[in-house]
Amino acid sequence: MKLLQSRVDLFPLNPSYATCSVSVYAEIGVAKKPLHCPIDLIGIDPDTTICINRSPPPSSSMRDSTSSSSSTASISQTRRETEEGTFRSDIAYRVMTECTGTIKERLDLSTCSLVDRLLEKRIINEKQKTQITDQHCGLTADQRMDKLLSLVKASIEVDSQVFHLFVEIIKQENTLITDRLAQTLLDYYKRLL
């Protein structure tokens, strides 16, 4: 959802939009742990767009009509969140650490678009991509893959959803080997829960 200044201006007119909190996270790769500090949103620079990954709360009439099925909806929501990739960073980090050998065996930096997709999702930056893909930088392919996986693991420590993105990126390679690797990572995660 995009939250524009015009939408913020309507907050006083609608009690369900009277306040808005935004969780602040440090830039990936900079901080060791995520910040879980909601801050009040007082106003927005008109030239700025804030993207939020949640929908606004339902209106009061919609809330009343759905209250009777709230327990069923809550169970469905929990199941859906698990399927969509709500992960614990400590377990996801452990999976990545313990499965490094398997990942390195099944992914080849020179034949897959993994690095480009990680850049696209802002898990790595352009400079890191260049270092990882440069075959003449003095690092072996194995060392470059280690560097890439250490960047992914650092990002997972900051935001556990990076693990979900990494698995989805692997699936996008669309081969039997990468599909199986993605499933192996997810299965191992579930075993560690």
Just give the CATH number of 89-192.
1.10.533.10
Give the domain ranges of the chain. Answer: 1-58, 89-192
User: How many CA atoms are closer than 13 Å to the CA of 143, on its beta-carbon side?
Assistant: 8
More confident residue, 151 or 77: 151
pLDDT score at 135: 84
pLDDT score at 108: 86
What tokens does 96 get?
Answer: 């990545």
In this predicted structure, the answer to whether residue 171 has a pLDDT above a threshold of 90 is yes
144 secondary structure, DSSP code: H
Average pLDDT over residues 79-91: 66
pLDDT score at 74: 34
For residue 24, list its beta bridge partners: 37
Q: Which of 54-58, 77-81, 84-88 has the lowest mean pLDDT?
A: 77-81
User: How many CA atoms are closer than 13 Å to the CA of 121, on its beta-carbon side?
Assistant: 20
Instruction: Provide the percentage of residues in the chain whose pLDDT is more than 70.
Output: 55
pTM: 0.56
Inter-residue contact 147 to 129 (CB < 8 Å): no
End-to-end CA, the chain: 31
In this predicted structure, the answer to whether residue 67 has a pLDDT above a threshold of 70 is no
What tokens does 69 get?
Answer: 């099925």
d(CA 184, CA 193): 14
d(CA 15, CA 188): 45
